[in-house]
Chain A
């Protein structure tokens, strides 16, 4: 096996290419590689150190991509030659859009409620966070099935939803921030 900066991220870690990934294994391989490649391992040799910065940067980028389910899914589709530039496309599933809007409204309501009853808002937030996590898990499970079955267009369509769900997760986190500040 020859490894170079052009190797794909799965090859870099010598892990099987697929959505299902052993995160503990990924992490321990990342650590092993860091121990060899980090610039601190080459202190005193400026040129090796410059090289090490590039390798470690690549390694970190690969690790961050594979660690996140959304980025990993996108990356797999790109490797399969699918253009994942779906931002410009409209999402045509009215049921999903409806559910998203309802969640957004629930979030707004919590923000308002926080002024009167912070504890109730906190409980509501936890409920929404649980729901968001479950949605994400279910979606990635479906993605994995479709991807493994070679249904790339079906898998790609799911990513638009994944973006919605992840964004909603970030908004919940912002609300959590806001509640912490009260």
Chain B
């Protein structure tokens, strides 16, 4: 009976390979990659470029992304947006961290969130990111499906390990806006370690040294039988290759001045400095000829120029090691990420600190996207036998505001996620029916020194004398590091569940407005699109359910329960084929969900038992072998 249900030709073919990509959404450049014939590869756009500049141009006529937009940086700087990653999930006060940018912002008095003024109107950082994601997803879709499919099955997007809740939420919002289905937000260092196949070793500790154009991140990971844990993260959000270029430019200015030549500092000189730096990655010495000054720069001189900057990165490494309770010699592998790690002096400093040569065989600009592609391939279900599991920790402590502007920590930094913490609150006035809760993220004791994630109000508390109401608030952080909050009055069981949006994120109405905006730009009928979406959703639900039933229905469900589920599946199958109203399919999905809830819970309980029963310590300790 159940097997017949799974047979109809219309439902998805279980062995068909799913389309999944990994996206490294970078500050300066973004990369998309996928797994083909078992190995990960970066996907190029129609021009053959693998590195897409993270730049969006909002022209009066059209929006362009990537290399085309980069071309507008000089012609139309006010409408050309770069480095938007630095503003994801950020407020007006963070605009200063960008340094000088040629584009304009809507004043804080007019908008709660930072908005950019462009020829296409006011644009949020999330919208800019969504454009970049859309472009990368399109590149992925075009190279993978070649027109045979209109949608990717899933995408893994990487984020810096230190990204807080607001920044992760903003990234996920951008994906929603771009119409991309996110399988997981993955930490960049973890992705890099995966790309090197370090998950294939039985165990070890890994340091990922990521020096990009403008930011430096160090992460310490532990691997144990396919399970990656982030032990600690650190870094410097204003240290990168751009600082190297400026230091070299300053050296040139000094040398020229000593020779009696007055040079102008600025962008052109920095580009010359960069060219010299890049040349020194390949050769021992380079000639510089700049506006009348001629000189030689060799590797030893470069190392001396960069010494102070590199020392800052090494110091951050020491601190991250300390936070992980490890010494430098405990690290088994060091992975280099980011274009600036091509500089020899950087590699030497890293090798000296850790006492071993860092891994650098994979292009440091691509390694993160390649790792994300491997994880996307597994999560989407193309490698059902994989044992790899990537565990994350919460990068910054979560707390709530208490009396006197102080923060009480609820979930401390480096706690493994998902995690849930409950806290009980009470009323402090007679007849009080509402209560404000302010959620913050950060390590400091003062509200003003932490980042505000959300403020919300619990309403509908039954009026009682002060202190009598007991309100239990549960803060839950999921595997992507995103927060949701639910509250319950214990006496009266008044339940309120709130999906909070960070103070710096988007209001729900903002999201739906933007979604509408993007739909109205898109061609085609909204109704048809909604119907198609529900049909796909129905297939997805059936596809997940059928194998589960085949495997476990007999063991876990009574005949009556099986019959009920089968009936609901039949309704859904019929609606999927016949309904012209998306709502009819949705209702059938909901009904099926209702009758299978208990089944899902029983399966989960059984996996707990199976995981523990019949295994002794020796078995636990054995590597899984085929991952």
Query: Would B600 and A60 count as touching, CB distance under 8 A?
Result: no
B605 contact from A3, A44, A54, A180, Cβ within 8 A: A3
Cross-chain contact A34 with B227 (CB below 8 angstroms)? yes
Q: What CA separation (Å) do A3 and B601 show in the bound complex?
A: 12
Contact between B389 and A34, CB atoms less than 8 A apart: yes
Residue A37 is within 8 A (CB to CB) of chain B in the complex: yes
Q: Which of A55-96 contact B (CB under 8 A)?
A: 55-58, 60-61, 63-64
User: What residues on B are CB-neighbors of A63 within 8 Å?
Assistant: 416
Say yes or no: is B3 at the interface (Cβ < 8 Å to chain A): no
B612 touches A14 (CB 8 A): yes
**A123 interface residue (CB < 8 Å to B):** no
Candidates B319, B381, B603; contact of A44 at CB < 8 Å: B381
Q: Which of A12, A31, A40, A180 contacts B224 (CB 8 A)?
A: A31
The 8 Å CB contact of A3, one of B381, B418, B603, B609, is B609
Q: Is B604 an interface residue (CB 8 A)?
A: yes
Kindly supply a per-residue 1/0 record for chain A positions 26-68, scoring 1 wherever the CB is within 8 Å of any chain B CB and 0 otherwise.
0011011111111111011101100111111110110110000
Our pick among A35, A48, A60 for the contact of B419 (Cβ within 8 Å) is A60
Interface residues of B in 366-402 (CB under 8 A from A): 379-381, 387, 389-391
Chain A interface helix/strand/loop/mixed: helix
Q: In chain B between 586 and 613, which residues have their CB closer than 8 angstroms to a CB of chain A?
A: 593, 596-597, 600-601, 603-605, 607-613
In contact, B476 and A53 (Cβ under 8 angstroms): yes
Verify B620–A41 contact, CB threshold 8 A: no
Specify which of A3, A47, A48, A180 is in contact with B319 (CB 8 Å cutoff).
A180
CB of B325, distance to nearest CB on chain A (Å) = 10
Q: Which residue of B lies closest to A43 (CB)?
A: B379
Given A44-B380, A44-B544, are A176 and B620 neighbors across the interface (CB < 8 Å)? no
**CB pair A61 B611 closer than 8 Å:** no
Chain A residue numbers with a CB within 8 Å of B612 are 3, 13-14, 29, 32-33
CA distance A118 to B600 in the complex (A): 59
Out of A29, A37, A40, A64, which one reaches B607, CB within 8 Å? A37
Closest-by-CB residue of B relative to A15 is B612
**Bound CA–CA A40/B603 (angstroms):** 16
Cross-chain contact of A53 among B315, B478, B608, B615 (Cβ < 8 A): B478
Say yes or no: A60-B620 contact (C-beta < 8 A), given A31-B225, A33-B608, A43-B183: no
B410, CB-defined interface residue at 8 Å: no
Counting CB contacts under 8 A, is B318 at the interface? yes
Closest B residue to A7 by beta carbon equals: B608
CB-CB < 8 A to A25: which residues of B? 617, 620
Question: When chains A and B are docked, how far (Å) is the Cα of A33 from the Cα of B477?
Answer: 19
Looking at the assembled complex, report how far the CB atom of B262 sits from the nearest CB atom of chain A, in whole angstroms: 40
- Give the CA-CA distance A125 to B369 in the complex, in Å: 43
CA separation between A4 and B604, bound complex, in Å? 10
Is A149 on the interface with B (CB-CB < 8 A)?
Answer: no
- B513 interfacial contact with A, CB 8 Å: no
Chain A residues near B415 (CB-CB < 8 A) = 60, 64
11 contacts between A and B (CB under 8 A): A1-B613, A2-B605, A12-B608, A28-B617, A35-B389, A43-B184, A47-B596, A52-B604, A54-B476, A55-B604, A56-B479
Q: A32-B615, A39-B479, A60-B418 are in contact. List 5 more A-B contacts (CB 8 A).
A: A3-B609, A29-B620, A43-B380, A48-B604, A57-B477
Q: Which residues of A contact B (CB under 8 A)?
A: 1-4, 12-14, 24-25, 28-29, 31-41, 43-45, 47-48, 51-58, 60-61, 63-64, 176-177, 180
